[in-house]
Structure 1
Amino acid sequence: MGLALAAGLTAAQPVAAQPAMRLGTQTFVERVSTDINGRPRRTLASADRVGPGDTLIVIVHWRNASTQPVRDFAVTRAVPPRTRPDLNDPHMQVSVDGGGHWGRLDQFWLPTPLGGMRRAVVEDVTHIRWQLPEAVPPGRTGRISYRAVMR
């Protein structure tokens, strides 16, 4: 009877579903040098060693790993520590409260230590996201990239 009860409890527990969308992130540092003709040449290098003022290129890869289309999905990422993201992408939304509220940066106000309010600035951004505009078929992949400057 103990075995039957244990088997019944195991069967009654829901199976953990695999996440439909798989996300991966790669980060590179953009290096600018001058070629033999005096023109700037941009290359991407490993972001193992970066310092203040370095420009990072962050690439977020996404894939629908399920067998069903995924609708209303937003690719969301925390902003890496000590970076200032480039917010020029009109499709990018930001959060200044850890993902609680989303919008454009100019829509946010934050409290000041003396009880006042101030406009949020790019250094306040904690998360960024892009809403995928349509249903993502099974197996579909894509990528989104943005720049960020090390502080």
Structure 2
Amino acid sequence: MKNFTRFAAAILLASGTMMANAPALAQDQAIDLKGDVKLEKVMIDDGGQSLVELVEPDTIVPGDKLIFGTEYSNNGTETVTNFVVTNPVPSAVRLAPAAPANLIVSVDGGATWGELATLSVEQADGTSRPAQQADVTHIRWTLATVAPGAKGRLEYPAIIR
């Protein structure tokens, strides 16, 4: 099991990095994206206080909390406007309840977008139900402007299924 969880962590890290880089190449070479995945680990300090640390995933199990991040920077000489970053959510995880309610997400593979509370999922019997965190397939951010030399970080919390 331990080797499998290390393999799964490597897949999650690789998918976050590769998927995050794809939109940058398609839109503008000036924007550089780098994706990463961190595991939330609760540590107890010498005083008995709980501290949450973000560490490289080594062994992961269902229920573990992860933070998927994408760092962006404008390495060009001109301002980039309306830059869209779209991250697929790996099937091994679900969006965490702690995710901001105003995230723009898709629950149908990227066909439609909106805040989770405004989306629905069609059932096999033709009825629909409100979308839930477990239904999210993609997350999208639109950066209104990214000035030359500007950098930032986009992230979302997820839980191993």
TM-score exceeds 0.5:
yes
Contiguous gaps of at least 5 residues in structure 2:
1-25
Instruction: Give the C-alpha shift of residue 91 in structure 1.
Output: 4.3
Q: The residue matched to 1:123 in structure 2 has which SS?
A: helix
| 1:136-147 alignment runs, 5 A limit | 136-147=146-157
Alpha carbons of structure 1 residues 30 and 38: separation in structure 2 relative to 1, 3 Å: same
Equivalence for 1:26: 36
**Contact 1:79 1:127 survives alignment (8 Å):** yes
CA deviation profile, 1:62-119 (whole Å, cap 9, x unmatched): 1223332111112221112221223632442111122222111121122211121122
Bigger CA radius of gyration: 1
Residues of 1 paired with 2:160 and 2:46: CA distance? 28
Q: The residue matched to 2:35 in structure 1 has which SS?
A: strand
Letter in 2 for 1:120: A
Letter in 2 for 1:125: V
Alpha carbons of structure 1 residues 30 and 88: separation in structure 2 relative to 1, 3 Å: closer
Instruction: Give the C-alpha shift of residue 143 in structure 1.
Output: 0.9
RMSD: 2.1
Aligned length: 135
Question: 1:125 and 2:136 equivalent?
Answer: yes
**Contact 2:103 2:116 survives alignment (8 Å):** no
Residues of 2 paired with 1:65 and 1:48: CA distance? 32
Question: Structure 1 segments of 4 or more deviating over 6 A?
Answer: none
Equivalence for 2:119: 108
